[in-house]
Structure 1
Amino acid sequence: MKILHSFFALFIITTIGFSQSKPKENFIVENGVSEQLAQFRKKQISNIQYGLSFEIPNQKNEDINSSLTVNLNLLDISKPLVLDFKEKSQNIKSVSANGKNIQILHENGHIIIPAENLISGKNTISISFIAGNLSLNRNDDFLYTLLVPDRASTLFPCFDQPDLKATYKLSLSVPKDWSVLAGADVKEKVENGDFTSYTFGESDKMSTYLFSFVAGKFTSATEKPGMEMTLLYRENNAEKIKMSVDTIFKLHQQSLEFLEKYTDHKFPFQKLDFASIPVFQYGGMEHVGAIQYRESTLFLDNSATDSEKLNRAKLIAHETSHMWFGDLVTMKWFDDVWMKEVFANFMADKIMNPIFPKINHNLQFFSTHYASAYAEDRSLGTHPIRQHLANLKDAGSLYGAMIYNKAPIMMRQLEASMGKEAFQKGIEKYIKKYANDNADWNNLVEILDAETPLDMKKWSEVWVNKSGRAIFTDKIEYDSKNRIKKFEITQQAEDKSTNVWPQIFQIGLVYANNVKVLNVNIKDKNLIVKEAIGLEKPLTIIYNYNGYGYGVFPLDGNNLNFISALKDEVARASSYSNLYENTLIGNVSPDKAFDCFFKGIQTEENELVLRIVSNNLNTIYWRFLNEKQQIKVQKQLEDVLNERLQANLSANIKKTLFGLFSSIAYSDSAKTKLYQIWNKEIVIPNLKLNEDDFTNMAMNLAIFKHEKADEILEKTRTTITNPDKKKRFEFLLPSLSKNESVRNSFIESLKDDANREKEAWVSVGLANVNHPLRQESAQKYIRFSLDLVEKIQRTGDIFFPKDWLDNTVGRYSSKYAFDEVQRFLKENPNFSPILKRKLLMSTDLLYKAQNIKKETE
């Protein structure tokens, strides 16, 4: 059929626009899915069933011939039916409505079925098309779909909005040596020469972004730890396979059992299968019946630390939680995407308690969420947890630490304020009422409000609908006997607004032989801590002692040595975090903070706390110490790390300490030591290293300009046994080159969309090129990177624009980089507000560095 384009633009607008008597319902079919279109289609369409067929060829550059038959009921046929298909018009071969071929009408990423081709009630639309490649993630011998948040319409024609749930009947033709995985079980398998055709049963009802399939050369494992599950994987390390596969199944079952009990709702879908993918963009994605994971997170060996094991378990618990929170009950519109993520993270934290009984889970929660939440919320690009979304094409911009990290902090505060039993009762009612349906935040607030005297609407207004955090100050007065006669704390919004965050936390008064812990429930701007009145003057005061509070708290800059001596692990973690945040807002000098973290490196024996200390020390070292200060502390830091690595410490602690050493080992003596470890001339007792660790060492040695860098890289390349990891390393080699022109060519190559397909690889390559030791030669590409970011957003997945910015201009602290950002923003006044927020988040430390340098000069 002939494809008609711009000739029909006016026709489309006038046909689907509504009469002037209903101006609120007027809409134009614009790019993406507007709120207006989504709301109209929700009223117009029901009972959707997709029938999809894809013919996957042997070569990844060949077209995938596909077909769609969609059955649906229409309540309103006075207007056209609008399907979303964000592909070239040439990809549409034919369209038929109710058995009759019709002309192809494709505008602004939509296929239009005119009203005269529709009937009231049941309709059948059939479309023959070439599948879009953007979200197919095609590799030489495997592919996987990833359609969140609005990418289903880049693959096949559909109604790409979360509140139009549907069932799917899928058929796949794939090369005969490939395995397949989708949202329903295989009902028929037919071999046809070099290909095999698979027909799947009808899936459960789901939103378009949750539809998925995986196909390729995978190994399959099936176990029944309770519910029968199947895993596809490409990992070929025998030790990792032996140590991981059974654990992966067991963790899914443990998560499933917890969630069934907590929600009082049985597992809601036909199956719980999963695939591990070596180049996966995210940690995981909760596709119904076919969860996808990043392979490196799932498959661990005996060198894995407790933190890595915990992270794997949390990832699995997170994705399993989505089966209830997101898949069973789905947000109405993507402005509430944070709801599915907050519950997945919040439930994952709960699930960890029985699985890892020896871990301090309050500490684990704090170490997981606070640093990431603060990193975005303190920036000029911060935004509320819940954001308005006018068009689904911008939904990817909503993702970030506000929903993954601040929202769980908010939810924990809410649970603490309501009480655990009342909170759980509300969640049970929420799941029961909205199962297989869609809900928004206001629906949940209404349910929770009935379970608590707390004014939920007022409470959530600041926590959910406002951005930022509180800066706390105190005013303490003592009497003549050195007893407290007044203890007042005050909160002021960091952005100088009138926002006040009601919250619960603890204050620790530290004495010579004990700590007096006070419970605080601040509901307004000021609070008199009555429990403190009459107590003796403490040696120091530790705010946010239990790590529940959210904000920047007072800090006794003259008593920082008390932090490492605190017996409570959470109090130490919270105090180290608070020290870092106070440094960034100018209350503590970088060198003074560095000294405190340095002492923590010498004494800390809890892995989670040590990671906080190590990360903060590393940031201050590279970002906020000048070259003279770095030289001053470099040898001392190396010596302490070497000494601790030889001491009788746990493998977890040694792995964390070694990670810090490897990241700063650029002096001649440290390089020599790092090379000897990489070359296995030196073996550090109880330090367990795997192939990935040796690869990372090789990359660091190249960046640190070791004299044998070329030899190190080549030997590493030839010894990598996993073909997927070898391809990754070969992709990264130009970014590691000692030749500046080769690194330049690597950056220039990223203009080409095809060279950015493996986004996780690109991020590492950018970090290599923009390492602090290479920034003098790389800074000329700051503007290049900024100019390309709008294209990155159009072609990349949801996290990539921020990752791109983080690993380019976000790596810098220099005045040059700061000026480049200011110049870019001045010369681009119409720069996307969404991307501007991402840029301001990524450059927060760059901005902070300018202020800190002014204060220390």
Structure 2
Amino acid sequence: MSIANLTRAETAARSSAVTVRSYRVELDVTGAPDSTEAGFLTTTTVEFDSSAPESWLDFIGLEIRSVIVNGQFVDVEYDGTRITLHGLRRSNTVVVSAVGEYSRSGEGLHRFHDPVDGQTYLYTQYEPADARRVFACFEQPDMKAPFTFAVTAPSGWDVTSNRSAAIVEDDGDGQTVEFSPTLPISTYITSVVAGPYHRVGSDWRHGDLEVPLGILCRASLAKYLDDDTIFEVTKQGLDFFAEHFDYPYPWGKYDQVFVPEYNLGAMENPGCVTFTEAYVFRGAATAAQYEARANTILHEMAHMWFGDLVTMVWWDDLWLKESFADYMGTLASAEATEWSDAWVAFANRRKAWAYSQDQLPTTHPIVADIVDLEAAKLNFDGITYAKGASVLKQLVTYTGRDAFFEGVRRYFRDHAFGNTTLADLLAELSAGSGRDLGSWAGAWLQTTGVSTLTLEHGADGHEIVQTDPRPHRLAVGLYDFDDTGDLMLRERVELDVDAERTPVSLPDAALRLLNDGDLTYAKARLDAQSLDTVERSLSRVVDPLARGLIWSALWNATRDGELAPARYLSMAKEFVSAETNTALLTTVLTNASFAIGHYLPLAERVSWRSAWLETSWIVMGESDPGSGAQLAWARAVAAAAVFDDGRATDIREILTGDRPAPDGLALDPDLRWALWTALSATGHADPSDLDVELTRDDTASGRTAQLRALAARPDAEVKARAWTSALEDTALSNDHLDAVIGGFRAGERRDLIASYDDAYFAAIRDVWAQRSIELARRVVLGLFPASESLDPVDAWLDANSDAPGALRRLVIEQRDHLRRDLRVRSA
């Protein structure tokens, strides 16, 4: 086990002996603008009670300068991750002075130098256990306490934390900002953001409650920040949750900060939510992108109650916050914002993530068995988020919405600022609904796998056949053509399905759609007649949620080898150009590209890649000028052109200005880089072209994109340098590491990169031991060989039975993805 790991057993023993009363954390980041300064000063004063004479504080940094226990300097006992404390009393005060290390991996205190204006930006990211990279602490979620932060930073910087500033001292060279104490919170949701951020303010009122709102981003991105739209969604969400939760927003203020080189979509730090800068759109964006951003804003807002106010005891119950936030974010999007079709994207995108994860050999129950932090890190997955949210949607149907929300309100009132487990939640929901939810929890929260529902027709009528039986409340939608040729819902039959075979009386219909309305979590198949109808008339299905469920059914059948990939691609080619829901459009475009590269036999791949590029090119040109559909198809062109150079001359002429782009298409920096990367990957762009493009977009995003495009060139020496850089260059930031790996893999040129397969398996244990789990995970996943054989993977697994469990899990999952690819191709 890595010394940086923490186990559930040892943290449970620590929290049973130690009760934290308060933290004071002092940080000095005045040296941050100097890139030669590796570290920052950090001093923690923690007051706590203890029933044991010995414990430890967690810290990962450059140096421990001193430890004071109850007023006495003591010898420092530090192994690189833990500071051992001896001679503890009933009541204790410990002061740790140390030097933390600025991060380039997005873990801890991340430092970013903006190439546009030379400014430096800092932000923290801790989940699940990286607060210890910034200050000494008891790093586990059930040891909550109030935190007081005092940050010394350069004058002129905006310094933000979970609470409002209480004291600011500024001598013109530096400033010290002290914040009001927080309410009791866990270490992983504390936050500090510092730098010359651009800030926009507003406020939200609800009765007598007034909450200051802030939106922050780097100064060089300020011109792209659509703060009015973000504030609108924010206020709509706060209104929705105030009404439904009946518990006042508790955190005083609500800042939302868009930060560079972020590892996540967002993080729910109370009063100081951080988001990826990808949500600040530098150019045109589709409706699906705006919808996804709104959903993320509301997901994080739901965490202010689910996760921040009431927190899980340990990471086994991570779902107590993530499943609820996923469900509540989508519910609020659909009912409180303009994105009333939010459940369409959920059904087609989020649940696809869950279905894929739930079919892996490493799947786990929603309530997982998380023995240590490494396991916790990998459980921020489709099960914990999307499957959990899907199951909650089914639970709301099962208990009734009013009873569900009454249970939620009781949960907040009874456990505010505390920690809970599954049993605590079930008790409140049972009291609210009058139902015993034990059997429901056993069926849905404590099992693994996804059921597949099929409609069969026999001599005695229809039966719904279910694999891996579970109790479902679902609907069957019966669709027929109207006078205009559209497929409309004629009737919906609701029923309970809990056995392997459930009889159901259904009249004839052109299309019978299992799980109509997306009430339950299951893969639904189309019967032969319905598939025939869909294959002829999918675009005539008027309801977008129904279309989304049909596309989901087709994709799941393709992934499972029951629908030929070429048949799926033919339907995509025929119907997706008419898709009006951009979330569905972009999902199908992505799936089509994936199917070509992973599921088609090699002999069919080249012709389909050429055909798909041509389809994308034609539809891009025919789409409404300036529309989201045109932009989505332009991105599809860029993705397809990485593999096929049939339009390389046309693309190059558009980029150089020798021919006009399609009418209305905005060639924003991100699209231009995607097209240049395609040219580079097919040998139609050289470094001088990419240098010229960088002069147009010499930004952080531009430099990252150029790095990817340079590594994409189909040259053996280029690939060798990219491989060495990915494995050995520890100065690469998280984004730059992704760019190098992405360029190395661009075009899937097995003729150039297959020779590295053996080197991959020889290297990954050292990578895991030497890198942080975040960076190691990117290497292990990003460089996994897309070979035509499972033998090298199996040999590594056999020879490395003693490898860390989290590493083995990643390799096992990648093996299963490869196994699926090979099986579907052979089918």
Residue aligning to 1:9: none
Task: Give the alignment of 1:661-672 within 5 angstroms.
Answer: 661-665=637-641, 666-672=643-649
Q: Retained in 1: the 8 A contact 2:112–2:260?
A: no
Task: Give the alignment of 1:736-747 within 5 angstroms.
Answer: 736-747=712-723
> What SS is found at the alignment partner of 2:49?
strand
1:653 shift after superposition: 1.5
User: Matches of 1:793 and 1:421 in 2, distance apart?
Assistant: 48
1:393 shift after superposition: 4.9
> What SS is found at the alignment partner of 1:86?
coil
* Cα 1:743/1:196, change in 2 over 3 Å: farther
1:330 shift after superposition: 0.7
User: Matches of 1:29 and 1:649 in 2, distance apart?
Assistant: 55
User: Matches of 1:267 and 1:797 in 2, distance apart?
Assistant: 35
Does structure 1 residue 199 correspond to structure 2 residue 178? yes
1:144 shift after superposition: 1.7
Residue aligning to 1:383: 364
1:246 shift after superposition: 2.4
Q: Retained in 2: the 8 A contact 1:382–1:837?
A: no
1:717 shift after superposition: 0.9
Q: Retained in 1: the 8 A contact 2:601–2:826?
A: no
The correspondence for 1:607, drawn from 562, 565, 582, is 582
The correspondence for 1:842, drawn from 814, 818, 824, is 814
Per-residue Cα deviation, 1:315-371 (whole angstroms, up to 9, x for no partner): 111111111111111111111112211111111112212444464233132133121
Q: What's the C-alpha RMSD, in Å, of the aligned pairs?
A: 2.7
**Where do 5+ consecutive residues of structure 1 fail to align?**
1-27, 479-484, 494-499
Q: Retained in 1: the 8 A contact 2:111–2:122?
A: yes
Task: Give the alignment of 1:259-270 within 5 angstroms.
Answer: 259-270=241-252
1:745 shift after superposition: 1.5
Amino acid at match of 1:123: N
* Cα 1:326/1:470, change in 2 over 3 Å: same
Identical amino acids, percent of aligned pairs: 22
Q: Retained in 1: the 8 A contact 2:334–2:343?
A: no
The correspondence for 1:548, drawn from 519, 535, 557, is 519
Q: Retained in 2: the 8 A contact 1:52–1:69?
A: yes
The correspondence for 2:321, drawn from 327, 331, 340, is 340
Does structure 1 residue 654 correspond to structure 2 residue 630? yes
Matched residue count = 797
Task: Give the alignment of 1:345-364 within 5 angstroms.
Answer: 345-357=326-338, 359-364=340-345
The correspondence for 1:767, drawn from 726, 742, 747, is 742
Task: Give the alignment of 1:170-189 within 5 angstroms.
Answer: 170-189=149-168
Per-residue Cα deviation, 1:729-759 (whole angstroms, up to 9, x for no partner): 3543542334331332222123346334x22
Does structure 1 residue 69 correspond to structure 2 residue 49? no
Amino acid at match of 1:846: L
User: Matches of 1:660 and 1:731 in 2, distance apart?
Assistant: 21
1:150 shift after superposition: 1.3
> What SS is found at the alignment partner of 1:754?
coil
Q: Retained in 1: the 8 A contact 2:714–2:749?
A: no
User: Matches of 1:113 and 1:639 in 2, distance apart?
Assistant: 67
User: Matches of 2:784 and 2:273 in 1, distance apart?
Assistant: 34
* Cα 1:93/1:357, change in 2 over 3 Å: closer
Amino acid at match of 1:719: R
User: Matches of 2:258 and 2:578 in 1, distance apart?
Assistant: 38
Does structure 1 residue 403 correspond to structure 2 residue 384? yes
* Cα 1:687/1:401, change in 2 over 3 Å: same
**Where do 5+ consecutive residues of structure 2 fail to align?**
114-119, 206-210, 483-487
* Cα 1:340/1:655, change in 2 over 3 Å: same
Q: Which moves more between the two structures, 446-455 or 371-380? A: 446-455
Per-residue Cα deviation, 1:246-293 (whole angstroms, up to 9, x for no partner): 222332222222112111011111221232112111111111222211
Residue aligning to 1:24: none
> What SS is found at the alignment partner of 1:771?
helix
Residue aligning to 2:92: 123
1:422 shift after superposition: 1.0
Does structure 1 residue 699 correspond to structure 2 residue 677? yes
Amino acid at match of 1:218: Y
Does structure 1 residue 232 correspond to structure 2 residue 211? no
* Cα 1:240/1:149, change in 2 over 3 Å: same
Q: Retained in 1: the 8 A contact 2:154–2:173?
A: yes
Residue aligning to 1:632: 607
Q: Retained in 2: the 8 A contact 1:225–1:250?
A: no
Residue aligning to 2:485: none
1:454 shift after superposition: 4.5
1:815 shift after superposition: 0.9
Does structure 1 residue 441 correspond to structure 2 residue 431? no
> What SS is found at the alignment partner of 2:802?
coil
User: Matches of 1:155 and 1:604 in 2, distance apart?
Assistant: 48
User: Matches of 1:520 and 1:788 in 2, distance apart?
Assistant: 54
1:164 shift after superposition: 0.9
1:55 shift after superposition: 1.8
Q: Which moves more between the two structures, 682-691 or 268-277? A: 682-691
1:764 shift after superposition: 3.5
Q: Retained in 2: the 8 A contact 1:342–1:404?
A: yes
Q: Retained in 2: the 8 A contact 1:805–1:842?
A: no
Per-residue Cα deviation, 1:709-729 (whole angstroms, up to 9, x for no partner): 4343122111105x3223423
1:307 shift after superposition: 0.8
Residue aligning to 1:22: none
* Cα 1:632/1:154, change in 2 over 3 Å: closer
User: Matches of 1:562 and 1:302 in 2, distance apart?
Assistant: 35
Amino acid at match of 2:580: E
Q: Retained in 2: the 8 A contact 1:577–1:612?
A: no
User: Matches of 1:393 and 1:639 in 2, distance apart?
Assistant: 45
- TM-score w.r.t. the length of structure 1 is 0.87
Per-residue Cα deviation, 1:805-856 (whole angstroms, up to 9, x for no partner): 443227x2x314x33322221221223333333333334432112212333x
Amino acid at match of 1:40: A
* Cα 1:273/1:796, change in 2 over 3 Å: farther
Does structure 1 residue 521 correspond to structure 2 residue 495? yes
User: Matches of 2:185 and 2:634 in 1, distance apart?
Assistant: 45
The correspondence for 1:97, drawn from 55, 63, 69, is 69
User: Matches of 1:470 and 1:508 in 2, distance apart?
Assistant: 19
Q: Retained in 2: the 8 A contact 1:335–1:398?
A: no
1:512 shift after superposition: 4.7
* Cα 1:512/1:247, change in 2 over 3 Å: closer
Q: Retained in 1: the 8 A contact 2:453–2:525?
A: yes
Q: Retained in 2: the 8 A contact 1:622–1:772?
A: no
Amino acid at match of 1:210: I
The correspondence for 1:277, drawn from 255, 259, 277, is 259
The correspondence for 2:82, drawn from 110, 122, 139, is 110
Per-residue Cα deviation, 1:73-129 (whole angstroms, up to 9, x for no partner): 33x1x43132222346xx1222122212222223473222223xx333x32111221
Task: Give the alignment of 1:505-516 within 5 angstroms.
Answer: 505-513=474-482, 515-516=489-490
Amino acid at match of 2:513: I
Amino acid at match of 1:278: P
The correspondence for 1:422, drawn from 376, 400, 403, is 403
Q: Retained in 2: the 8 A contact 1:802–1:842?
A: no
User: Matches of 1:83 and 1:222 in 2, distance apart?
Assistant: 38
1:131 shift after superposition: 1.9
1:437 shift after superposition: 0.9
Residue aligning to 2:7: 34
* Cα 1:631/1:111, change in 2 over 3 Å: closer
* Cα 1:228/1:281, change in 2 over 3 Å: same
Amino acid at match of 1:155: V
> What SS is found at the alignment partner of 1:447?
helix
Residue aligning to 1:595: 570
User: Matches of 2:470 and 2:680 in 1, distance apart?
Assistant: 48
Amino acid at match of 1:768: G
Q: Retained in 1: the 8 A contact 2:393–2:520?
A: no
> What SS is found at the alignment partner of 1:592?
helix
Task: Give the alignment of 1:452-491 within 5 angstroms.
Answer: 452=433, 454-477=435-458, 485-491=460-466
Does structure 1 residue 619 correspond to structure 2 residue 585? no
> What SS is found at the alignment partner of 1:676?
helix
